[in-house]
Amino acid sequence: MTIDLSRVAIIARKEFADHLTDRTFLLVLALFGILTVLSLEATLTSYASMMRSYEFLLERALERAAHADPSPLFPLPTPPPPLAGLIFQRIGDTFGIFGPLIAIAVGFNLIAGEREEDTLKVLLSRPVYRDEVITGKTLGGVAVLAFASAAVFALALGGVLVAGLTVTPHDAVIVVRCWGATLLFLLAYFGVAVAFSAFSEDSGRALAWTMAVFILFSTVVPVVAVDVARTVAGPAPPWPGADAPPDEVQRYQEEMHVHAATYGGVQNMMLALSPEGNFGVMRGALAGEDLAASLGGVWQNLIGLLAFPAIFLAVAYVRFMRIDLR
């Protein structure tokens, strides 16, 4: 049996159009737009304050350096981070909190809603195969999430331009990186919602089970990750004191480095089980200057973010192919 891509495209377009005309979805998207504007305004205000502080400290540092001995290097203040990375990291914070809700809203009634309204039997009575139906509906949902997240990022980018700020090609690359990570994050909970939608006979149960999984991974797993990391790393080495010999201070610094590396490694490994944990680590990496170097330390988080929707969507596919609609 071969999938007819034209039929898949028709189903995907219908699913996409149904969501874009749904008042609940449009309301959630409008709320995201409002949150984006508020976040953008707060970020621009904060960045302007950081720039004024940096310019003030830099001016004072240069004045002091001009009257001091020019032989040693005079310490200069650290400049603020790139504005684009800061803005879209804040947008990522908004998606990290509210993004799963829009993903769940798109996916929880994808199949259960059709069964609840007895429209799935009518759909499958047409000359269309089950794998074409689930593939088309899934692609339609993915397209909706891609459109919604891209619209929010485009709104933020437009706000930056309206504010009179210059967007460099590197800034545009950062935007695309952050949008890609955000879409993967949304797809994680979309996959969960579709899987429970396939196993549930009504949309209410699908929503309840999906929200339970969302609470588990968004709140329980991060808390457990901290507890496990603290247990494995053990207590931090005690500070030897300000008057300690240099060798003791050096030993303390080495022990602290090992402790911090152990704690961070265990916590990051545990957070790889959570879409929120993976998304949080990825946001910080993708906002950096060197993508290859940034991803080198978070490859397991990228794999986790890719595997999460893949596993749940595969489960949804298998379940849908075996649903008894009699």
pLDDT of residue 76: 64
Indicate the pLDDT class of residue 326, thresholds 50, 70 and 90: low
Q: Comparing 74-83, 165-174, 189-198, which segment has the lowest mean pLDDT?
A: 74-83
pLDDT in tens, 10-64: 888 988 988 888 887 788 888 888 888 888 888 878 877 888 887 877 777 777 6
Q: What is the pTM of this model?
A: 0.81
Q: How far apart are CA 132 and CA 126, in angstroms?
A: 12
**Which span out of 56-70, 239-253, 287-301 was modeled with the highest average pLDDT?**
239-253
Token pair recorded at residue 70: 């020019």
pLDDT of residue 101: 86
Q: How far apart are CA 168 and CA 20, in angstroms?
A: 32
User: What distance, in Å, lies between the first and last C-alpha atoms of the chain?
Assistant: 23
Return the higher-pLDDT residue of 135 and 273: 135
pLDDT in tens, 7-25: 888 888 988 988 888 887 7
Tell whether the model's pLDDT for residue 73 goes beyond 70.
no
Amino acid at 243: D
Tell whether the model's pLDDT for residue 135 goes beyond 80.
yes
In angstroms, the Cα distances linking 38 to 27, 31, 32, 77, 98 are 17, 11, 10, 29, 14
* Domain coordinates in residue numbering, the chain: 5-44+85-321
Q: What angle do CA 229, 231, 235 make, to 5 degrees?
A: 100
pLDDT of residue 67: 65
Return the higher-pLDDT residue of 22 and 142: 142
Indicate the pLDDT class of residue 140, thresholds 50, 70 and 90: very high
Averaged pLDDT, 148-169: 79
pLDDT of residue 1: 55
Q: What angle do CA 181, 274, 84 make, to 5 degrees?
A: 30
Residue 126: how many CA atoms within 13 Å on its side-chain side? 11
pLDDT of residue 142: 92
Tell whether the model's pLDDT for residue 308 goes beyond 80.
yes
Q: What is the mean pLDDT of the chain?
A: 81
CB 134 within 8 A of CB 316: yes
Q: What is the largest CA-CA distance in the chain?
A: 89
Averaged pLDDT, 285-303: 68
| Residue 247: Cβ-neighbour burial (10 angstroms; 0-12, 13-18, 19+) | exposed
**Cβ-proximal residues to 169 (8 Å cutoff; 6+ apart), any chain:** none
Amino acid at 251: R
Averaged pLDDT, 137-149: 91
Q: What angle do CA 266, 267, 270 make, to 5 degrees?
A: 85
Percent of the chain with pLDDT over 70: 87
Q: How far apart are CA 249 and CA 285, in angstroms?
A: 32
pLDDT of residue 295: 63
Averaged pLDDT, 177-186: 87
pLDDT of residue 138: 92
